[in-house]
Amino acid sequence: MKTFKLATALVASVALPSVAFATDLEVTHWWTSGGEAAAVAELAKAFDASGDKWVDGAIAGGGGTARPIMISRITGGDPMGATQFNHGQQALELVEAGLMLDLTDVAEAEGWKEKVFPQSLLDSCTVDGRIYCAPVNIHSPEWLWLSNKAYADAGLPVPANWNEFVESAPQLEAAGKIPLALGNQPWQSNLAFGAISIAVAGLDVWKEVNVEKNMDMAAGAEYAAVFQAVADARSLAAKSTVQDWNQATNLVITGEAGGQIMGDWAQGEFQVAGQVAGTDYTCLPGLGLNAYLSTGGDAFYFPKNKSADIEAAQKRLAALLVSPEAQVAFNLKKGSLPIRGDVDLAAANDCMKKGLELLAQGNLVPSGDMAWSPDVQKQNEDLLVEFWKTDMAPEAAHAQWVSNLKSGL
Ligand code: GAL
C-alpha cells in the first residue's frame, strides 16, 4: 500500500499543466459593489477556466472616477489588457488615436453582427467600419426600485408608478422613512433627471430633443414640467445623505427609504441581500409611466500592447465575453440583460423578465450616453448636481440646460 501511495504522489508531482501556459491579462473596471463584484467574478472565473489569467483591476468610485484613470494609463503608455467603458463615445478619441485593438477579425469569426442585439450596441463599437469593443450587457438606467417593507411599515400600498410615489411621499415621510434615496455623485443626479424626463415628458418628446436635437421642444412646456418634477424629487431626497449608488440602494433594501431611481444594476444588490423581486421589492421600468428600455450598459475595449501573446489573449477574452455561457453567468448576477437574443435566461427573476419582455417588444431608446458628446454630458452633469443640491429655480436650470445642449449641436 505504501508503494502505491508513493507512486501516486510521484506521478502527481510531475504531471504536466492541463492547459497551455496562461497569459495574464489585467482587466480594469469600476464594478466594486457587492452585486457588481459577484458579476465580474463570473467573467474572471470563465477566463481563468479557459486557460488564461484574469488579473483584476477594479477601480472604486464609479465610472466618473475610473474612466480618467483608464484613459491616462492608455495615453500614458501604460495600457491594461482590457478595460470597461460604457456603450457610446467614451473611448472614441482613443480609437481615433490608434491606441485600441481592432477586433473585427474576432467579430467576424464569432458572428457578432448576426448575434448581438440590438445592433446599436455593435454600432457604438464601430469606427470607420471596424469593430473595437465587445459589448457585455444592456443596462437601462430608468427604473424605480421600491421597498415593499417601507410601505408596509407605513400602512401604505406600494406605488404603481412615479405619480403615486410622489403623492404618497408625505405619508411615507410621516412614518419616518426617506421617500427617495439618492447618492451624492454627479452621474446619479444625471441618471435620475434622465429617468424623470422620459417619465414626465414622454418618449416622443425625449427622442425629439435627444435624437432629433429639436431645441424649441427642449425649451418648451414639456421640459418645463420635467424641471418642476425634478425640483419636487429634490425635496423627497433631501434627507438622503449617502454617497455611492449602492449605499442608496441599501436604504431601500433595509426599508429606511421608500424608493430609488437607479439602473437595473441595483438588482445585483437586492440579490446579494437575498431579497426576492416582487416579494421584498418592486421594480417599475420607465418609473411605471412609460415602459421602455434605454439601452445603456457596458463594453470592453482592448488597448494595443507590445506583446503578441497579450494581443492573442485579448482576442480570446473578447470572444469569451460575447459567448452565450459568459453572457448568462454574468448578466444574471449583474441584473443586466444579455447582448444576444439566443441565450436562455430561465433563472431570470420578475424584474429581469420585465426587461426581457420590453427588449423583445422593441421598446428601446438609445442610451443618453450615445446621444450627446461626453463634454455636453459633463456640462449637464455639473448643472444638475447644482440643481439637485441647491434651491436653484427650475426655470433657471431649464434655461441653462437648453443652452448646454445647444453648445453640443
Ligand atoms: C454604470 C455601468 C453599470 C453599473 C453602474 C454603477 O456606468 O454601466 O455596469 O455598474 O455604472 O457602477
Taking only the tens of pLDDT, the chain with its 409 residues reads 344 444 444 444 444 444 565 899 999 999 999 999 999 999 999 999 999 999 999 999 889 899 999 999 999 999 999 999 999 889 999 999 999 999 999 999 999 999 999 898 999 999 999 999 999 999 999 999 999 999 999 999 999 999 999 999 999 999 999 999 999 888 888 889 989 998 889 888 988 998 899 999 999 999 999 999 999 999 999 999 999 999 999 999 999 999 999 999 999 999 999 999 999 999 999 999 988 887 889 999 999 999 999 999 999 999 999 999 999 999 999 999 999 988 888 888 899 999 999 988 888 876 555 678 888 888 988 899 899 989 999 999 999 999 999 998 9
| Residues framing ligand 1 (Cβ under 6 A) | 30-31, 36, 62-63, 86, 139, 245, 265, 297-298
143-294+372-407 maps to which CATH number? 3.40.190.10
Nearest CA owner, ligand 1 atom 2? 297
User: Given this model, what pLDDT does residue 8 score?
Assistant: 44
Ligand 1: residue of 139, 301, 336 to mutate (most ligand atoms within 8 A of CB) is: 139
User: Given this model, what pLDDT does residue 316 score?
Assistant: 98
Beta-carbon count within 10 A of 155 CB: 8
User: Given this model, what pLDDT does residue 19 score?
Assistant: 52
Distance 63 CA to ligand 1 centre (A): 7
Coil, helix or strand at residue 303: strand
Distance 86 CA to ligand 1 centre (A): 8
Distance 330 CA to ligand 1 centre (A): 14
Distance 3 CA to ligand 1 centre (A): 57
Domain with CATH 3.40.190.10 in the chain: 24-139+296-362, 143-294+372-407
Instruction: Give the β-pairing of 364-366 and 293-295.
Output: parallel
Closest C-alpha to 386, from 193, 165, 162: 193
Phi first, then psi: what are they for 359, rounded to 5°? Answer: -65, -45
DSSP string, 150-171: HHHHTT-PPPSSHHHHHHHHHH
The CA distances from residue 333 to 28, 43, 187, in Å, are: 19, 11, 23
User: Given this model, what pLDDT does residue 4 score?
Assistant: 40
| Rounded distance between C-alpha atoms, residue 45 and residue 95, angstroms | 28
Distance 27 CA to ligand 1 centre (A): 16
User: Given this model, what pLDDT does residue 12 score?
Assistant: 44
Specify which residues 143 forms β-bridges with.
262, 285
Specify which residues 282 forms β-bridges with.
146
Closest C-alpha to 230, from 181, 190, 262: 190
Distance 263 CA to ligand 1 centre (A): 8
Q: What is the pLDDT of residues 223-236, one digit of tens each?
A: 999 999 999 999 99
Phi first, then psi: what are they for 363, rounded to 5°? Answer: -80, 75
At a CB cut-off of 8 Å and minimum separation 6, what does 298 contact? Answer: 84, 85, 86, 87, 135, 136, 137, 139, 336
- Selected from 3.40.50.740, 1.10.3720.10, 3.40.190.10, 3.40.50.300, the CATH number assigned to the domain covering 24-139+296-362 reads 3.40.190.10
Which ligand 1 atom sits closest to the C-alpha of 137?
9
> Cell 454630458 appears where?
377
Distance 296 CA to ligand 1 centre (A): 9
Q: State pTM to two decimals.
A: 0.86
Ligand 1: residue of 298, 370, 381 to mutate (most ligand atoms within 8 A of CB) is: 298
Torsion, CA 159, CA 162, CA 168, CA 172, rounded to 10: 80
The three cell numbers of residue 220 are 418648451
| Rounded distance between C-alpha atoms, residue 42 and residue 59, angstroms | 18
Q: What is the pLDDT of residues 360-401, one digit of tens each?
A: 888 887 655 567 888 888 898 889 989 998 999 999 999 999
User: Given this model, what pLDDT does residue 294 score?
Assistant: 79
Exposed, middle or buried, 329 (CB in 10 Å: 0-12/13-18/19+)?
A: middle
User: Given this model, what pLDDT does residue 21 score?
Assistant: 59
| Rounded distance between C-alpha atoms, residue 137 and residue 296, angstroms | 8
